[in-house]
């Protein structure tokens, strides 16, 4: 193969590689953009629908919920909605765009993941020969009421991507062919022809024509090639050093930014778990811990006590001395409870003047004794302005339930402790009541 053929083959290879790389990169980018846009529109649609859906589920208004589902399915034709289902906590269908689905329980991995997740979930798959996007968002209206799951056809998206792929490759081929032809002609003139002349001279010399010479008008450029290459190498070295310095500086900047981001995320995590007034766990974090202990109990048998306590006549204290004094009282109460509990125990502000405690790995007798200890410690502790309270002392009422003796269900344990707490209120406050005492009475 001659030099001219090699040059043509090299230029053609570069053009093909450039077209392929450009087309592949562009198509992959557009595929990702279309995928994100489709997922974003689907999630945004379901999030917007989750607001009225949550209200309807909170009010147990099934006709209104069905009406919302019908209207949304009619409005979502531009997104190629295949179906949409509203599920309760167990994955049971409470409303569906298709008839005959009501009451069914979805128990596939995607549904289980969506039911447990606090954020939207998406996945793409192929059903039959049709690509589809499945999305699920939580239904939240104050509390988590369920999950919306929907399926969207990606056929139109795939068709759009195929059309764009053809256009991109045709455009790239045309645009790359012109520079390729120009590069070939230029290289032929500047490189191939002078080399052919020098080759002819060499052949003449080899035949004994020692006086043979070659006339190359651009011979000065060829003669200065080494110098130019040296200059180019120097420029590349200088540019590489400058680039490494900039990369190092940017690396330090990114490391500092990442450190700040980690610190900010840790701060956000702490804020998400704690009550801003008392510094204790908030109700949400307590419920997660309770659910964890219930699941742990299903795997490895253990026991714990759940204590729910309430500051007696707190409204009277708050109304008499103001909200600032009430906040200070709650802070003192939180510190006192924390001081008299173990480091392994979980204590949280349940709401208002209510606190809740998990005494981990604690039996019924020990848990009841600890509850009495907390009631007695609070009664004995002097609090500012407590003389204005009924009886001249600031006290608490306490309700206690035990796992697994009273129940293996976390929500029932809270309900039992709450009912025992109200029994303490009925008994005159400043006392401790177990759920077993309430049940037997």
Residues noted as catalytic? 353
The rounded distance, in Å, linking the Cα atoms of 282 and 156 is 46
The rounded distance, in Å, linking the Cα atoms of 198 and 74 is 77
Task: Give CB contacts under 8 A, 24+ apart, made by 323-327.
Answer: 325/384, 325/385, 327/277
The rounded distance, in Å, linking the Cα atoms of 80 and 355 is 49
152 contact partners, CB below 8 Å, separation of at least 6: 38, 42, 79, 80, 81, 82, 132, 133, 134, 135
At 277, list the tokens.
Answer: 């007034």
Neighbours of 358 (CB within 10 A): 23
Residue matched to tokens 């003796």: 405
Half-sphere exposure of 363 (CA within 13 A, CB side): 2
Which of the 8 DSSP states describes residue 274?
Answer: B
The rounded distance, in Å, linking the Cα atoms of 433 and 307 is 10
Contact 397, 421 (CB under 8 A): yes
Backbone φ and ψ for 431, nearest 5 degrees, come out as: -150, 170
Q: Which residues pair with 379 in a beta bridge?
A: none
| Angle (CA) 13 17 19, round 5° | 115
The rounded distance, in Å, linking the Cα atoms of 291 and 346 is 13
Neighbours of 408 (CB within 10 A): 12
End-to-end CA distance of the chain: 104
| Angle (CA) 111 112 113, round 5° | 90
The rounded distance, in Å, linking the Cα atoms of 147 and 57 is 11
143 contact partners, CB below 8 Å, separation of at least 6: 58
Contact 121, 43 (CB under 8 A): no
Contact 19, 176 (CB under 8 A): yes
């Amino acid at each position: 193969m001659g030099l001219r053929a090699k040059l043509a083959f090299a230029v053609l290879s570069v053009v093909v590689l450039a077209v392929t790389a450009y087309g592949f990169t562009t198509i992959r980018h557009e595929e990702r953009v279309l995928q994100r846009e489709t997922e974003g529109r689907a999630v945004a649609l379901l999030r917007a629908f989750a607001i009225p859906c949550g209200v309807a589920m909170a009010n147990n208004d099934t006709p209104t919920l069905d009406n919302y589902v019908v209207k949304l399915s009619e409005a979502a034709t531009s997104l190629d909605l295949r179906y949409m289902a509203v599920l309760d906590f167990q994955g049971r269908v409470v409303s569906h765009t298709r008839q005959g689905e009501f009451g069914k329980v979805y128990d596939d991995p995607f549904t289980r993941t969506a039911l447990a997740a606090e954020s939207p979930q998406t996945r793409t798959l192929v059903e039959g020969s049709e690509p589809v996007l499945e999305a699920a968002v939580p239904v939240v209206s104050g509390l988590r009421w369920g999950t919306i799951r929907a399926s969207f056809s990606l056929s139109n998206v795939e068709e759009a991507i195929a059309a764009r792929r053809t256009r991109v490759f045709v455009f790239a081929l045309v645009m790359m062919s012109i520079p390729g032809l120009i590069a070939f002609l230029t290289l032929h003139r500047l490189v191939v022809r002078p080399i052919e002349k020098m080759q002819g001279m060499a052949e003449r010399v080899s035949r004994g024509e020692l006086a043979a010479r070659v006339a190359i008008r651009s011979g000065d450029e060829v003669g200065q090639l080494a110098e130019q290459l040296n200059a180019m190498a120097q420029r590349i070295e200088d540019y590489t050093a400058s680039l490494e310095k900039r990369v190092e500086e940017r690396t330090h900047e990114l490391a500092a930014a990442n450190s700040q981001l980690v610190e900010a995320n840790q701060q956000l995590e702490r804020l998400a778990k704690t009550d801003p007034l008392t510094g204790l766990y908030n109700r949400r974090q307590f419920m997660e811990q309770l659910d964890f202990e219930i699941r742990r109990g299903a795997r490895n048998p253990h026991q714990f006590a759940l204590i729910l306590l309430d500051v007696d006549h707190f409204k009277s204290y708050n109304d008499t001395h103001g909200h600032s004094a009430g906040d200070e009282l709650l802070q003192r109460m939180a510190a006192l409870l924390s001081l008299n509990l173990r480091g392994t125990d979980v204590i949280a502000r349940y709401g208002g003047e209510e606190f809740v405690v998990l005494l981990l790995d604690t039996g019924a007798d020990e848990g009841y004794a600890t509850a009495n200890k907390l009631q007695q410690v609070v009664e004995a502790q002097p609090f500012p302005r407590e003389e204005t309270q009924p009886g001249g002392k600031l006290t608490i009422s306490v309700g206690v339930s035990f796992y697994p003796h009273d129940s293996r269900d976390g929500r029932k344990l809270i309900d039992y402790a709450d009912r025992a707490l109200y029994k303490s209120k009925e008994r005159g406050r400043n006392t401790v009541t177990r759920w077993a005492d309430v049940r037997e009475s």
